[in-house]
Structure 1
Amino acid sequence: MFSSILVPLDLADTDLARPALATAATLSQNSNGKIRLLNVLPMTPVMLAEYVPADFDVQQRETSEEALAIIARESGVEATRISSAVRQGGIYHEILEEAATVKADLIVMTSHRPAMRTYFLGSNAGHVVRYAKCSVLVVRH
């Protein structure tokens, strides 16, 4: 049914990501679909640039890539059907860009429980649901 599933992950809270990955693995099994794990790194604020090491962004990317590789190995999905990417920028914007890049027909992501502030400010999951050109499944923890 789904040939390309994107699973954005917050590596700061991998327990929250487990249900989304398990759901994506189940949904991709029937059609032998591929899963793409994604982590989005925030941009380093210009004001902090002089206080962090020159290779800070490179170190962050390498750490994220290693963490995604571990998650992929532990997912139980065959190595030929799972891949990962690390992008840097605005979270929902980069999720939508990656979905377009891999031609995802489904995005499976988790979301924190809604709070009053998310009704006014919007959440990343909310933005993805509103603007994605493919189906989006939000899995609650």
Structure 2
Amino acid sequence: MMFSKILAPIDLAEPGMTSRAVGYAEALANAFDADIRLVNVQSLTPIAGLDYTKEDFDEVIRRGLESELAAVASGLDRPPERISTALLFGPVDQNILAEAESWGSDVIVLCSHRPGVERFLIGSNASAIVKRATCPVLVLR
């Protein structure tokens, strides 16, 4: 099996997990000469229009997140044209699955927290992605 497109969903609030997922994605990309797409999904949507927020609040938040995502991408040992990023808003699992499908991912590389009781009852994003993905999923603990 060859991988030409590796999707790596990352959580910018979890630098350790991000580093681990990006490291595995980078190793696979170098081994298979593949492209990498880093994806960050924010489960909370921007909140423009509320009386107590600045007019450009959403844009400031978006630019900050895009900058963080670009910083992670710039640390990869791949040619810049082989790396892309996507910042998405909404349900994490649905957005990752849609991005994997639309980009044509050959594999999804993601980290997952060790599940606790609450995750067994409500399910985790990693579990939902594994169950519904149309490509292989590499889940790192």
Q: Same-fold call, TM > 0.5?
A: yes
Kindly tell me the number of residue pairs found equivalent between the two proteins.
139
CA distance in 1, matches of 2:116, 2:66: 31
- Runs of 5+ unmatched residues, structure 2: none
CA shift at 1:77, angstroms?
2.3
CA distances 1:104-135 after superposition (whole Å, capped 9, x unpaired): 01000001111111000001111111111111
AA in 1 matched with 2:45: M
SS at match of 1:86: strand
TM-score, scaled to structure 2: 0.91
CA distance in 1, matches of 2:17, 2:56: 29
AA in 1 matched with 2:41: V
**Which residue matches 1:55?**
56
Within the alignment, does 1:135 sit opposite 2:126 as a pair?
A: no
Within the alignment, does 1:43 sit opposite 2:10 as a pair?
A: no
CA distances 1:9-31 after superposition (whole Å, capped 9, x unpaired): 11111221111111111111122
Quick one: structure 1 residues 45 and 126, their matched pair in 2 at CA, closer, same or farther if it must change by over 3 Å? farther
**Which residue matches 2:15?**
14
Q: How does 1:89-128 map to 2 (within 5 A)?
A: 89-128=90-129
AA in 1 matched with 2:87: V
CA distance in 2, matches of 1:117, 1:45: 28
CA distance in 1, matches of 2:53, 2:123: 30
Task: Work out whether residues 25 and 36 of structure 2, in 8 Å CA contact, stay in contact via their aligned partners in 1.
Answer: yes
CA shift at 1:79, angstroms?
1.1
SS at match of 1:51: coil
CA distance in 1, matches of 2:122, 2:101: 25
CA distance in 1, matches of 2:136, 2:18: 18
- Runs of 5+ unmatched residues, structure 1: none
Identity of aligned residues (%): 38
